[in-house]
Amino acid sequence: MEDFIVAAVKTVIAFALLFTVVLILVWAERRIVAFMQNRLGPTRAGPLGILQTLADGLKLIFKESMTPDRVEVWLYLAAPIMALVPALLIFLVVPIGAPITIGGTEYTLQVTDLNVGVLYVLAMSSMAVYAIALAGWSSGSKYPLIGSVRSAAQMISYEAAMGLALVPVIMFNGTTSLAGIVEAQGATYFGFLPAWNIVLLPSFVVFVIAMFAETNRAPFDLVEAEQEIVGGFHTEYSGFRFALFFLAEYINLFNMSALTVVFFFGGWQGPVFGPTVVQWILPVIYFFAKTFAIVFLFIWVRGTLPRLRYDQLMSFGWKRLIPVSLAWIILAMIAVGIRRFGLPWA
Amino acid sequence: MSWFADLLGPWRGFTVTWRQMFKPKLTTRYPKEKRVKPQRFHGRHALNRYPDGMEKCIGCELCASVCPARCIYVRGEDNPPDDPVSPGERFGFVYEINMLRCIFCGMCVEACPTEAITMTHLFEMSVSDRQEGIFTKDVLLVEPDGTPNHPLPDTPLIDIKELRLGDGWLRATSPSGRAEFEGVEAWSPSARMGGLAPAEPAQEARGESQESRVKSQEARTKSQEPRTKNQEPRGDGEEGTDD
């Protein structure tokens, strides 16, 4: 019973955290992209416009949710929920801080520590593609259909590379649990360099590129290319259903940044000192600081790079990323083998 | 090392966006801040008066006939002999401008022989129905002290200060129809508070002969030529260093 209560409280906190983060994220993205374009962005709602997302969300709730004539009603209504649920579920396995001990009981700062965390994360992020594909197909009009076909093709070009990019990380840390991966990065080289997985640089590069494709962000936002296909899969959505898609997209953006931090930047690891409470809080601050740095990378890329053409995306995925990650897996395999068993001739 | 530069090429785009983040922003936060408008801004019209309070409009309908949008309606009437409204024979009895049609080209201002109609710097003229879009004489005509009139109270969105700014209309020749200004460019702003703009000195008063004036004009155009040639569009120098 106590476990159940703890899990429920953690889940509620995790979801509340996600929604709060999304409010900040959308605002931050609009402000930063605006600054890169010599504009100011939203400034009117709240101090520095920080309540702009809240205002937009409230507006969308009160808007009429249209259901066009030719939609497949059940799929059409289910798709926004299918987009949101996996996005929320991914975050449940992300450790946002060091485990804390209260009254002799240890509480981990993640809702649950799955021992197959990496597989779970990959599975859930693939689930989001179903929502997009079904939303586009059930809308019953051509632009959403093009968008959903694109999302399916994009998925098969990048999912493989993304999974392969994580194989060296798993080999290196010897675990697929996210908490375990973070723990394994706690050591230091030469006493001061943090032993983060960023040393697996090719993995990191491939993962970040695949991450952009996975979250449908610029320069791989072909699925919702406003200029070509009028918003793609969400063309026929309005009101709160539209808001759900956007919520899911930004939660995914945050999740993917958090996962990058967990896999490559040591999660919540960092120098910890001071009284116990500070020792609890500092890792959380490190985690969020690192995550928002990756989020900034997302926004920076969006402000800089133009959208890739469709065939460029696919050939890049299949002809570059997958061979590179395969070659890197073999190299990493050799390196890990040498580290464990020594040189073959020694 | 050109291959190295090629490799870095895609990344240099990121430095551009990074640098732009810290540059001053171009946005003017409009209702809070207002830009200073160009002196010859074409804003809402005003019907002016002479300093003694007489209306300048003589009801000649030249503005209405020159208007390309056909948005001006004027009906002149004979001045009552005992209480004349304008110094001329007739005055503008009805004067209406349909602001929904007006294209703010300023042809009426150019056509007006008495500088009765000029433009101000006010551009906030939103109305809540089409009838209100027709500005009648009681809106357009300035107050007896020369203050432009506005039907609504002074709020941040209806900036009556803008109305008080004369438009500084540039006349190619002969402001006020005075012969001594032939060929002389002169600023002739609309009546502000208190009436007429200070008169430009006539050419004799400036001690210039016809020849010297022509010479000085030639010198002016010559000195201007190289400047216009070397003029570069703004921001080009900045971009040039990037590439």
Residue A51 lies in a domain: no
In a domain, A36, yes or no: no
Express as a percent the part of chain B with pLDDT over 70. Answer: 56
For A318, the domain range is 68-341
What is the token pair recorded at B109? Answer: 């201002």
Contacts of A39 in chain B (CB under 8 A): 25-27
Mean pLDDT of B14-42: 81
H/E run at residue A55:
helix A52-62
The confidence score (pLDDT) of residue B39 equals 67
| Percent above pLDDT 90 for chain A | 1
Closest listed residue to residue B9, CA positions, set A212, A305, A200:
A305
Inter-residue contact A160 to A214 (CB < 8 Å): no
Of A172, A233, A168, nearest to A206 by C-alpha is: A168
Q: CB under 8 Å to A57, separation ≥6 — which residues? A: A243
Nearest-neighbour CA in chain A from B23: distance (Å) = 7
A137 or B236: which carries more pLDDT confidence?
A137
pLDDT of B224 above 80: no
Q: Is A189 on the interface with B (CB under 8 A)?
A: no
pTM confidence score = 0.72
| A267 Rama sector, left if φ>0, alpha if ψ -120 to 50, beta otherwise | left
Indicate whether A307 belongs to any domain: yes
Would the ipTM clear 0.95, i.e. be above it? no
Mutate one of A33, A38, A305 to test the B interface: name it (highest B CB count within 10 A). A38
Contact list in A for residue B17 (CB cut-off 8 A) is 36, 300, 303-304
Per-residue confidence at B198, pLDDT binned at 50, 70, 90?
very low
- Averaging pLDDT over each range in A70-79, A94-103, A183-192, B158-167, which range is the top one? A70-79
Cis ω for the linkage preceding A99 (within 30 of 0) = no
Contact residues on chain A for B29, CB-CB shorter than 8 A = 40, 43
- CB-CB: which of B14, B26, B29 is closest to A38? B26
Tell me if B116 sits within 8 A of B56, measured CB to CB. yes
Kindly state the helix (H) or strand (E) to which residue A105 belongs, with its residue range. Answer: strand A105-107
**Separation between Cα atoms, residue A340 and residue A134, nearest integer Å:** 46
Residue at A148: amino acid letter: S
Condensed to tens digits (0 to 9), the pLDDT of residues B161-178 reads: 666 655 544 443 444 555
Residues 6+ apart with CB under 8 A from B200: B175, B181, B184, B186, B187, B188
* Top-confidence range, A100-109, A334-343, B4-13: A334-343
User: Nearest residue on chain A to B32, judged by CA atoms?
Assistant: A44
**pLDDT reported for residue A96:** 83
Q: In A, which residues are within 8 Å of B31 by CB distance? A: none
Q: Confirm if B174 and B110 have CB atoms less than 8 A apart.
A: no
Instruction: Say if residues A185 and A218 touch (Cβ distance below 8 Å).
Output: no
Angle at A180 between CA A178 and CA A183, to 5 degrees: 115
Yes or no: say if B47 and B56 are a contact pair by the CB < 8 Å rule: yes
* Distance in angstroms (rounded) separating the CA atoms of residues A185 and A195: 5
Q: ∠ CA B142-B144-B150 to the nearest 5 degrees?
A: 35
CB contact under 8 A, A38 and B16: no
Q: Select from B11, B15, B17 the residue whose CB has the most chain A CBs within 10 Å, as the one to mutate to test that interface.
A: B17
User: How many residues belong to chain B?
Assistant: 243
CB A262 within 8 Å of CB A95: yes
Across chain B, mean pLDDT equals 69
Work out the average pLDDT over B35-58.
79
Is A36 in Cβ contact with B20 (below 8 Å)?
yes
DSSP letters spanning chain B: -HHHHHHHHHHHHHHHHHHHHTSPP----TTTS-PPPPTT----EEE-B-TTS-B------HHHHH-TT--EEEEEEEPPTTS-SSSSSEEEEEEEEETTT-----HHHHH-TT--EEE-S------SSGGGGEE-HHHHBPPTTSPPP-SS--BTTB-HHHHHS---PEESS-GGG-GGGTT--EE-PPPBTTBPPPPPPPTTTTT--HHHHHHHHHHHHHHHHHHHHH---TTHHHHHHH-
- Residue A262: phi and psi, rounded to 5, are -65, -45
Q: Do A43 and B29 touch (CB under 8 A)?
A: yes
- Classified as helix, coil or strand, A45 is coil
Q: What is the DSSP letter of A276?
A: H
Instruction: Please name the residue ranges forming H helices in A94-238.
Output: 117-138, 142-173, 178-184, 201-214, 226-229
Q: What is the pLDDT of residues A294-313, one digit of tens each?
A: 999 889 988 888 888 888 88
**Mutating which of A29, A36, A205, A305 best tests the B interface, going by the most B Cβ atoms within 10 A?**
A36
Residues of A within 8 A of B20 (CB-CB) are 35-38
Taking the C-alpha atoms of residue B44 and residue B182, their distance in angstroms, rounded to an integer, is 29
Residues 6+ apart with CB under 8 A from B55: B47, B48, B49, B85, B86, B91, B92, B116, B141
pLDDT of B151 > 70? The answer is no
> What is chain A's mean pLDDT, rounded?
84
Residue A60 lies in a domain: no
Res B128: pLDDT: 83
**Residues of chain A above pLDDT 70, percent:** 99
User: Which residues on neighbouring strands pair with residue B192, listed in sequence order?
Assistant: B195
- Give the tens place of pLDDT for each residue, B47-106: 887 777 788 888 888 999 999 999 999 988 888 888 888 887 888 889 999 988 999 888
CA atoms within 13 A on the CB side of A41: 20
Contacts with A170 (C-beta within 8 Å, 6 or more apart), sequence order:
A118, A176, A181
pLDDT tens digits, A37-86: 888 888 888 788 888 888 888 888 888 878 888 888 888 888 888 888 98
Q: How many folded domains does chain A comprise?
A: 1
Q: Cα angle vertex B204, ends B202, B207, to 5°?
A: 115
Closest Cα in chain B to A44: B29
Tokens representing residue B66 in the block: 């020159």
The pLDDT of residue A291 is above 70: yes
pLDDT band of residue A182 (cuts 50, 70, 90) is: confident
Q: How confident is the model at residue A102 (pLDDT cuts 50, 70, 90)?
A: confident
- Whether B232 shows a pLDDT value over 50: the answer reads no
Higher pLDDT, B10 or B131: B131
A258: pLDDT strictly greater than 80: yes
